[in-house]
A and B are shown apart, each in its own frame.
Chain A
């Protein structure tokens, strides 16, 4: 497979400024590659180590990155051996050769040195997705999380150590924009036949990689583990071992594997938020009590299934979740449930306490009796949360303990027994016109 980012030891020591048409170079291979991929930006920090043989005196190292999305301003060379004897004199970006740079190196040492090249590239991204499978009784979940790494960078990275950064960083310029400056071409979409060739090649690459591993008697027998650690405000997932992700491909690996996660089922009636019917939620927390909590959960899509008790699944819901910090709640909205019915009825309207200005009504109070009825046809009791937004100056009274979610939203949590109904009565007095002194709900008890 073609490598695009190449480092060359230029054996000719002619002056760089002169145009040269004939070069003789050696091509030191990558010793190791580490990719640190950020998901908040199209940014990857690539770190390669290579061995280069230097002679005493002036040496030139050429680094080129045709058809890749590397930010030239980010390319750095660091010596890992013989640091006292080798010095990087300068870095030259030849005008006539885009996507090239040359390091002029002064060496007091002759022989092999280990170097590290780092650069920012784009086109490598990652995302997270989750699969949750509830047991048939809807009491426990199998909760799995997967990282999927996409390589559209134009470069093949074989056996790379992959690190994934969870968190939002600040960039003042996009790496892809920096890479595209000076009319530098970007990787093209592969053609159909080329795709087939690529796919065959990649199958072979996978096979070769595995075969090689087998030869070493160390073939992968389990999914790669993901090591999680906190760094500053961010979290880093490191994929154990190394992975090969050919250009254009993506690879999905398991990062979270948790069984027996308990969860709560809650119904919510919030017409202003979820519409006219109550919706069903599965709720659990990213904490130790729920066998999670060893890292935040990055943004990602959750596909929620239920084991139907017959080796099969039922598809319950799909939802995009936002970053879930440790100990925070995960809420999955399953939508309306035909087996839980909510109705509301308003009656007994009375008006009183009229105010007049020049014999015209300009203020009054009005009471009405509201009855909300919840019917539960499920075989288990349900928890039902009811919130309703009121506008204006409201006095609110219910015999059932009610609290205020905010200044205008009473909320109540009810338990409705299996196959039964429950009523929630409330008397609402609204002050109108000049009688309205506030814009809030006041609970009478």
Chain B
């Protein structure tokens, strides 16, 4: 059995009617919730707004709001009369001229009193006329939280994704909210039954045909040698890369952090699970990178082909290094390998202290096949190398792509 833990009571023995001051019989009405809105746009605070129809007598009305077994932030509670019933409809609350010359709302809060050691408060509300008023009570509540998750389904060629974004609502606030409007700060509003201790997963948006790029990344200094048998090879990590913009089928809103489960369509119309990763916050126009695992079909070995010190003066010198990469693609599809070269660590290993970010320039032996990107700064170049698919001919060997990065690291000591 669930119990309602929030209670609003209009003490209809409203004060200010012509009853004698003492010994009055009190009658409390319990206005039910007409509407509940749950706002999840703030990642740290969940705002609940309830709408209730409260009978008001002319004069002062005492409206008691109390709660138990819920963590409502007492200091966040707002009471806002918004409309008055006229016939079958409601009209907005009007501002009226007071005898004092001041302007005031037809229904206005005089003050709020807080009883000791209780989760309750009493609004003293003055109404110019007897009426049924629509009021909104807003408060911040704890343990009603949201998180985001994604489900990505790749096509067989791994060129497109169907990306579904979900919001998961966890209601451990102690309160049954019943039918409630839910808004996450973006996307559509939802209307759901939200009970206590319920987790509700709602599809926020489905993005069809999102172009995806499958990347292969080699980073020697992060992952080190692959194994003792292959001391010059290192792990090649696979990622899906999505761009959060309209051109790539996304770009409606920033993508919030959350778990992404990745599936791929199989040849029989089914799906296979590829893995999962935590997606970072991806603002508009940024790229979301989803880790898929290690590739066994793209193999890269890295060799220091030459290493030469060029003295300048005293202990000041340049270090000229040629890095040779031998890459094999055993896949039946072409691929692009991204090689991250950490030049500060390279300098420290072979030349000396870089004293911050290295100063460097290309040497003449750098292969023309390499494209460079500097997304993470000048000292962390990313080398992009296109690899052909393995030969279709059974007897043909996989072509080994050999490229060189000739770097002159300057002014070390």
Q: Residues of A at under 8 Å CB distance from B? A: 129, 131, 148, 152, 189-190, 195, 198-199, 202-203, 206-208, 210-212, 214-215, 219-224, 243, 245, 247-254, 301, 303, 305, 308, 311-316, 318, 335, 338-339, 341, 345-351, 354, 356, 358-361, 364, 366, 368, 375, 377, 432
CB-CB under 8 A for A221 and B45, given A249-B113, A360-B315, A366-B356: no
- Of B97-105, B190-198, B232-240, B294-302, the one with at least 4 CB within 8 A of chain A: B97-105
Report chain A residues within 8 Å CB of B188: none
Report chain B residues within 8 Å CB of A364: 355, 411
Report chain A residues within 8 Å CB of B355: 351, 364, 366, 432
Cβ-defined contact, A346 with B378, below 8 A: yes
Q: Does B165 contact A (CB under 8 A)?
A: no
- Of B17-25, B202-210, B328-336, B399-407, the one with at least 4 CB within 8 A of chain A: B17-25
Q: Residues of B at under 8 Å CB distance from A? A: 11, 13, 15-22, 24, 37, 39, 41-42, 44-45, 47, 49, 59-60, 62, 75-76, 78, 82, 98, 100, 102, 104, 108-118, 122, 124, 126, 136, 138, 140, 185, 254, 256, 281, 283-286, 313-316, 355-360, 374, 377-379, 410-411, 413
A123 to B: closest C-beta gap in Å: 12
Cβ-defined contact, B47 with A313, below 8 A: yes
Q: Which of B82, B111, B185 has the most CB of A within 10 A?
A: B111
CB-CB under 8 A for A301 and B126, given A251-B111, A341-B286: no
Cβ-defined contact, B15 with A214, below 8 A: yes
CB-CB under 8 A for A222 and B281, given A339-B254, A347-B378: no
Bound complex: CA A242 to CA B144 (Å): 41
Bound complex: CA A140 to CA B160 (Å): 45
Cβ-defined contact, A249 with B114, below 8 A: yes
Bound complex: CA A152 to CA B116 (Å): 9
Report chain A residues within 8 Å CB of B16: 210, 214, 219
Cβ-defined contact, A251 with B113, below 8 A: yes
A249 partner, pick from B44, B110, B115, beta carbons under 8 A: B115
Cβ-defined contact, A351 with B377, below 8 A: no
B164 to A: closest C-beta gap in Å: 20
Cβ-defined contact, A219 with B116, below 8 A: no
- Between A and B, 19 residue pairs with Cβ closer than 8 Å are A131-B78, A148-B114, A210-B15, A219-B60, A220-B110, A221-B59, A245-B113, A250-B114, A252-B113, A253-B111, A313-B47, A315-B41, A316-B42, A339-B254, A346-B378, A349-B360, A351-B411, A354-B316, A366-B356
Cβ-defined contact, B117 with A248, below 8 A: yes
Bound complex: CA A65 to CA B24 (Å): 33
Report chain A residues within 8 Å CB of B254: 338-339, 377
A184 to B: closest C-beta gap in Å: 22
Cβ-defined contact, B126 with A220, below 8 A: yes
Bound complex: CA A252 to CA B75 (Å): 11
B60 partner, pick from A131, A199, A220, A315, beta carbons under 8 A: A220
Bound complex: CA A220 to CA B41 (Å): 39
Cβ-defined contact, B411 with A312, below 8 A: no
Cβ-defined contact, B313 with A214, below 8 A: no
Cβ-defined contact, A251 with B112, below 8 A: yes
Cβ-defined contact, B75 with A301, below 8 A: yes
Report chain B residues within 8 Å CB of A360: 314-315, 413
Task: Apart from A222-B98, A312-B136, A356-B316, list 4 A-B contacts with CB within 8 A.
Answer: A214-B18, A252-B112, A349-B378, A359-B315
Describe B's contact surface by its main secondary structure. loop
Report chain B residues within 8 Å CB of A350: 359
A209 to B: closest C-beta gap in Å: 8
Cβ-defined contact, B118 with A195, below 8 A: yes
Cβ-defined contact, A249 with B15, below 8 A: no
Cβ-defined contact, B114 with A349, below 8 A: no
Q: Who on chain B is nearest to A335 by CB?
A: B44
Cβ-defined contact, B111 with A252, below 8 A: yes
B116 to A: closest C-beta gap in Å: 3
Cβ-defined contact, B15 with A211, below 8 A: yes
Cβ-defined contact, A223 with B111, below 8 A: yes
Q: Who on chain B is nearest to A317 by CB?
A: B42
Report chain A residues within 8 Å CB of B62: 203, 206-207
A199 partner, pick from B17, B20, B39, B118, beta carbons under 8 A: B118
Cβ-defined contact, B358 with A198, below 8 A: no
Cβ-defined contact, B42 with A206, below 8 A: no
Shortest 8 CB-CB contacts between residues of A and residues of B: A248-B116, A211-B21, A359-B314, A347-B378, A210-B15, A338-B254, A315-B47, A351-B411
Cβ-defined contact, B286 with A199, below 8 A: no
Bound complex: CA A430 to CA B302 (Å): 35
Report chain A residues within 8 Å CB of B118: 195, 199
Cβ-defined contact, B316 with A314, below 8 A: no
Report chain B residues within 8 Å CB of A198: 115-116
B22 partner, pick from A211, A221, A248, A375, beta carbons under 8 A: A211
B47 partner, pick from A243, A248, A314, beta carbons under 8 A: A314
Report chain A residues within 8 Å CB of B117: 189-190, 195, 248
Bound complex: CA A129 to CA B124 (Å): 18
CB-CB under 8 A for A375 and B285, given A210-B15, A313-B138: yes
Report chain B residues within 8 Å CB of A129: 75
A368 partner, pick from B41, B42, B357, B360, beta carbons under 8 A: B357
A408 to B: closest C-beta gap in Å: 18
Bound complex: CA A375 to CA B122 (Å): 47
Bound complex: CA A224 to CA B126 (Å): 12
Cβ-defined contact, B110 with A222, below 8 A: yes
Report chain B residues within 8 Å CB of A356: 313-314, 316
Report chain A residues within 8 Å CB of B78: 131, 305, 313
Bound complex: CA A60 to CA B286 (Å): 84
CB-CB under 8 A for A206 and B113, given A219-B60, A354-B313: yes
Q: Which of A208, A245, A303, A350 has the most CB of B within 10 A?
A: A303
